Amino acid sequence: MRIDGLQYANWSEKIFRQMREGGVDAVHVTIAYHETFRETVLNFERWNRWFEAHSDLIIKGHSARDIDRARETGRTAIFFGFQNPSPIEDDIGLVEILHTLGGRFMQLTYNNQSLLATGCYETEDSGITRMGRQVIKEMNRVGLVVDMSHSADRSTIEAAEISQRPIAITHANPHAWFPALRNKKDAVLRAVTENGGMLGFSLYPHHLRGKSDCTLQDFCAMIARTADTFGVAHLGIGSDLCQDQPDSVVEWMRTGRWSKEVDFGEGSASSPGFPPMPDWFQDNRDFGNIEQGLYAVGMNAEEVAAVMGGNWYRFFDENFGPDEG
């Protein structure tokens, strides 16, 4: 089983077919960065057209059972998430509406301070806000997973402690391996994993030691060390693959509507576009390289299966439905 915890590709039939060639059973797809509720609904509408046009390749995912159905029929299950809480605007009632439409993950921040928490690019981290506490409670109730991939340290630790259900960092790497601003310190990873949460390892070059030149061996050795430290049951892949996106999309990702200036974030002003992916992971057909790399660094078959998809499957199964407590 192969499950990717995060992608934001420029979707096309070509990519859907590459998912099938790579044996990718499920993908968490970003459906909103800075969109309002109405704009997010239009993105759901666009995906509905893709599900209709490419029904032989993809199906909409609501629960882990849909991954089983995808595997049985040779398709990929698509699950939706938001990299920013902007789709709920300032209305907690929209949390349930978005879950009903198919949302399964929502980040409480995207780099900046939001109404809910502090992003990792802010100077001061004030933690989870009053509204944030209420929104987490509502997300727990309906089965919308709290994602803290772009959030600051205190906010992430508090979210893990406040949430009554496990949270996720869908796409990041350990800060101890490579000190990118977006990578997560051990105290953060400990808070998330000790509360049953998940870390999806990112392949986005700005999160990799050596960036585009990061080796497969180094990446997989990092995964093995993280498994030794935090437990293999809490780890998966969250590639952050942005395949075929034009460089102009980076401006939308980083800047949205909040600034009149372009904020390149983790990139540099001299090269603001998407960085080249490592040669061993160019698209969805390359998940087998990671699998073989994990074996090469000494992980056994059970551990490899867990990281490549088994852990995400269990997490989806336990956290996408309403709280039965």
Q: What is the mean pLDDT of residues 103-113?
A: 97
Query: What confidence tens digit (pLDDT) does each residue in 56-78 have?
Result: 999 999 999 999 999 999 999 99
DSSP per-residue string spanning 275-315: PPPPTT-SSGGGHHHHHHHHHHTT--HHHHHIIIIIHHHHH
Q: Under a CB-based contact definition with an 8 Å cutoff, are residues 265 and 31 in contact?
A: no
**Measured distance CA(35)–CA(76) in Å, rounded:** 25
Strands 76-82 and 103-107, sheet pairing = parallel
Q: Under a CB-based contact definition with an 8 Å cutoff, are residues 290 and 277 in contact?
A: no
The pLDDT score that the predictor gives to residue 252 is 84
Q: What is the mean pLDDT of residues 122-129?
A: 97
Q: Under a CB-based contact definition with an 8 Å cutoff, are residues 202 and 172 in contact?
A: yes
The pLDDT score that the predictor gives to residue 237 is 98
At 254, the pLDDT band (50, 70, 90 cuts) reads: confident
At 268, the pLDDT band (50, 70, 90 cuts) reads: very low
The pLDDT score that the predictor gives to residue 2 is 98
Structural domains in the chain, sorted by start:
3-319 (3.20.20.140)
Query: What confidence tens digit (pLDDT) does each residue in 126-158 have?
Result: 999 999 999 999 999 999 999 999 999 999 999
pTM, full prediction? 0.96
Give every CB contact of residue 127 below 8 A, 6+ residues apart in sequence: 117, 118, 154, 155, 158
Whether 324 shows a pLDDT value over 80: the answer reads: no
Query: What confidence tens digit (pLDDT) does each residue in 2-15 have?
Result: 999 999 999 999 99
Mean of pLDDT over the chain: 95
